[in-house]
Structure 1
Amino acid sequence: MIPSHKFIALELKDQLKTLFLEGSFIVSIRYYGYKINLYLLNNFYVEVFYNHKHDHIEKVQPLDKNHTRMKFYSDQIKLPGDLMC
């Protein structure tokens, strides 16, 4: 199990490999020009930003629980209460 600080330091291709092998897919949302897949990896959530126009994963980042995207997630699924604060 990889801790979040080591996961963030990985190159994009290694982050994706780790997510697909060790993470659990939670939900997808549409957000502006992206399809964002939310994963649970160990004890933290990770977002994968896929750009449809360019058919390319642009970035992988830990979930920012204070971002307005949280509403899109909470409309579809129930995340643990401490994430919704």
Structure 2
Amino acid sequence: MIAWTEFDELTLEEKISMLYEEGTFVMGIRYYGYKVNLYLLGNFYLEVFINHKFSLIEKIIPLDRMHSRMKFYSDQIQLPKGEF
């Protein structure tokens, strides 16, 4: 299982590859100009920001449980409590 610090050091292409090979898709939301897909990888959640205009993954970041986007997720699923 990879730790966040190790994952964060990968290139964007390596992150994408690992996420799609080993991650579990949880759900997707629309957020401004993005489709944001939520994935579980090991013991942490990641948000994948996809720019539809350019058909491009722009960034992959850890889920910030304090961000206002959480309301979009919590309306549809119950995320487990803990160190994610």
The TM-score by the shorter chain falls in which range?
over 0.9
Runs of 4+ in 1 over 4 A off after TM superposition: none
Q: Does 1:13 align with 2:34?
A: no
CA distance in 1, matches of 2:59, 2:76: 22
TM-score (structure 2 length as normaliser): 0.94
The correspondence of residues 48-63 of structure 1 with structure 2, limited to 5 A, is: 48-63=48-63
- Give the whole-Å Cα distance in 1 for the aligned partners of 2:80 and 2:39: 14
Q: Which residue of 1 aligns with 2:74?
A: 74
Q: Is the deviation greater in 73-82 or in 22-31?
A: 73-82
> How many pairs does the alignment contain?
83
Q: What RMSD in Å do the two structures reach over aligned CA positions?
A: 1.1
Task: Say yes or no: does 1:38 pair with 2:41.
Answer: no
Please list every run of 5 or more consecutive structure 2 residues that lacks an aligned counterpart in the other structure.
none
- Structure 1 stretches of 5 or more lacking a match? none
Q: State the identity as a percent.
A: 58
TM-score (norm 1): 0.93
CA distance in 2, matches of 1:75, 1:35: 17
Shift of 1:81: 3.2
SS at match of 2:75: helix
User: 1:55-83 CA deviation, whole Å, 9 max, x = no partner?
Assistant: 11100111111100000000111111347
CA distance in 1, matches of 2:79, 2:11: 28
SS at match of 2:74: helix
Query: CA offsets per residue over residues 6-62 of structure 1, 9 Å max, x none?
Result: 001100000010101111000000000000000000000001000011111100111
